Amino acid sequence: DGGITQSPKYLFRKEGQNVTLSCEQNLNHDAMYWYRQDPGQGLRLIYYSQIVNDFQKGDIAEGYSVSREKKESFPLTVTSAQKNPTAFYLCASSPTSGRGRDEQFFGPGTRLTVL
């Protein structure tokens, strides 16, 4: 089945540790995105990538880093510089051309708790 996978669903880390969240898609989409969601809030864009080996900062990129070495994968690293990393992290992808380019497909999310 085609889709987006994020793992793990729940992740616990100690304060001061970097942690990498995985996001994989087999939809052959060019564009991928990372969002953060805090309780009772909407989604905020962290980073996005429209093509392999290229990515742009979103609205809240500080304390995060990404890479896009493969079309299928867009991992997000939450660094120790991120002051409030505990949140629900959502990955999405979309085509950049053609009929479906306006619909973003979301993964199930990773809930990160920093202790």
**Residues binding other proteins (CB under 8 A):** 4, 31, 33, 35, 40-45, 48, 50, 56, 58-59, 88, 90, 92, 94, 96-97, 101-109, 111
CB of 11 to other proteins, least distance (A): 14
Tokens of 62: 């500080």
CB of 35 to other proteins, least distance (A): 8
CB of 52 to other proteins, least distance (A): 15
What distance in Å separates the CA atoms of residue 103 and residue 96, rounded to the nearest whole number? 10
Find out whether 51 and 30 touch, Cβ atoms under 8 Å: yes
